[in-house]
């Protein structure tokens, strides 16, 4: 970013006034201010003003050149998946784009209004079979959730406007995949009772560990059953966690219902980008 003329002049005069050779020639004390020794109409001040102005103009020209180069890259080069993710997170509901650009004009709006318009809180973009999968999610009551139909309609129009010509894509805005766990947890009876409750604290640490693992998963992150078991095994009072059956259900946008459960072998990436657990009824505690 270009410096102002005042900043440039201040840096030059500071070096000038700190020079011992110049101080002996002019008779000033090194380190004193330039303004205290030289008047506005002095030859030295005029020279510094001219040089500072020239440097400022040069830096501004360089900045403008950078802007123009970036604009050429932006308009001529095809975009990567990461660019689409950034643009998804930058979507502002209720705001129109500047004509023929992928940017918003936020002049006249407060920071609070701008932030409130950014309803896409999570996004992941991957390539699949020659097209982009753009997964998105918002938040509701501190939980991940799909955006509403009107919001989705506006987001679709936004993506159509900014997407590169010829790029095929699918926007996935589905409710969370359902995670179904059937497991046995072999416990220390001195620490956990037969329902999994902590005898000392009265909470359910295995359930909390599962929810914590889900929370730690990045959006569109890979759920690994071994890692989940490791998380549960670290719970005080747990001896052996055994997930003997794990399944997931994905939402079918066409029918508006969840599809039949499918088995999870080793690991899985959620179709919607995130999971939810309906209950913990299929966890058996062996003490």
> Mean pLDDT, to the nearest integer, of 165-181?
95
Judged against a pLDDT cut of 70, whether residue 217 lies above it is answered with yes
- Return the bridge partners of 179, or none: 248
Tokens at 256, concatenated: 């508006």
Max Cα distance, the chain (Å):
92
Q: In which residue are the tokens 């660019």 written?
A: 83
Q: What is the pLDDT of residue 79?
A: 81
Domain ranges of the chain: 5-76, 81-172, 177-286
pLDDT at 59: 93
What's residue 142's pLDDT? 86
Q: How confident is the model at residue 1 (pLDDT cuts 50, 70, 90)?
A: confident
> How far, in Å, are 106, 183, 191, 192, 193 from residue 202 at the CA level?
51, 21, 10, 9, 10
pLDDT, position 179? 98
| Residue 93 token pair | 């509901």
Q: Is residue 84's pLDDT more than 70?
A: yes
Radius of gyration in angstroms for the set of CA atoms belonging to the chain, rounded to a whole number: 31
Average pLDDT over residues 60-83: 79
CA distance 241 to 283: 10
Tell me the C-alpha distance between 250 and 252, whole Å: 6
Instruction: Quick: pLDDT tens for 20-60.
Output: 999 989 999 998 999 999 999 999 999 999 999 999 999 99
Token pair in block for residue 127: 């390539």
What is residue 278's three-state secondary structure? coil
Q: 19 — phi, psi (to 5°)?
A: -80, 120
> Tens digit of pLDDT for each residue in 109-160?
999 999 999 999 999 999 988 899 999 999 998 899 999 999 999 999 999 9
Instruction: For residue 3, give every residue at least 6 positions away whose Cβ sits within 8 Å of its Cβ, in sequence order, or none.
Output: 55, 56, 59
Statement: residue 75 has pLDDT above 80: no
Report the C-alpha gap between 86 and 70 in whole angstroms.
17
Which pLDDT value is given to residue 74? 61
- Is the pTM of the predicted complex or chain greater than 0.75? no
199 band by pLDDT with thresholds 50, 70 and 90: very high
C-alpha distances (whole Å) from 260 to each of 53, 153, 180, 221 are 71, 28, 11, 22
pLDDT > 90: percent of the chain: 85
The pLDDT value recorded for residue 137 is 97
What mean pLDDT comes out for the span 74-101? 87
pLDDT above 70 covers a percentage of the chain that reads: 97
Q: Residue 229 pLDDT more than 90?
A: yes
Q: Does the structure show a pLDDT above 70 at 76?
A: no
CB atoms < 10 A from the CB of 280, how many? Answer: 14
- Are the C-beta atoms of residues 136 and 88 closer than 8 Å to each other? yes
How far is it, in rounded angstroms, from Cα 69 to Cα 229?
A: 51
Query: Which two three-digit tokens encode residue 115?
Result: 């932030």
pLDDT of residue 78: 65
């Amino acid at each position: 970013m270009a410096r102002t003329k005042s900043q440039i002049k201040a840096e030059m005069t500071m070096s000038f006034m700190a020079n011992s050779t110049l101080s002996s020639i002019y008779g000033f004390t090194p380190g004193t201010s330039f303004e205290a020794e030289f008047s506005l109409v002095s030859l030295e001040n005029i020279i510094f003003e001219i040089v500072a102005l020239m440097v400022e103009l040069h830096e501004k020209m360089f900045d403008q050149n950078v802007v123009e180069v970036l604009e050429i890259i932006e308009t001529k080069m095809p975009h990567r998946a990461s660019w689409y993710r950034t643009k998804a997170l930058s979507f502002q509901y209720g705001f129109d784009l500047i004509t023929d650009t992928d940017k918003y004009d936020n002049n006249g709006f407060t920071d609070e209004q701008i932030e409130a318009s950014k309803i896409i809180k999570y996004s992941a973009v991957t390539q699949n079979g020659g097209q982009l999968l753009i997964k998105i999610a918002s938040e509701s009551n501190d939980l991940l959730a799909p955006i509403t139909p009107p919001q989705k309609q506006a987001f679709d129009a936004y993506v159509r406007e900014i997407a590169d010509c010829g790029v095929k894509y699918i926007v996935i805005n589905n409710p969370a995949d359902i995670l179904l766990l059937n497991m046995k947890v072999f416990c220390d009876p001195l620490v956990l009772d037969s329902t999994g409750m902590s005898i000392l604290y009265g909470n359910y640490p295995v359930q909390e560990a599962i929810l914590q693992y889900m929370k730690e998963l990045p959006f569109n992150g890979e759920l690994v059953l071994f890692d989940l078991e490791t998380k549960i095994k670290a719970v005080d009072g747990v001896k052996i966690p055994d997930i003997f059956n794990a399944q997931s259900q994905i939402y079918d946008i066409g029918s508006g219902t969840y599809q039949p459960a499918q088995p999870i072998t080793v690991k899985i990436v959620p179709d919607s980008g995130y999971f939810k657990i309906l209950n913990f009824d299929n966890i058996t505690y062996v003490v």
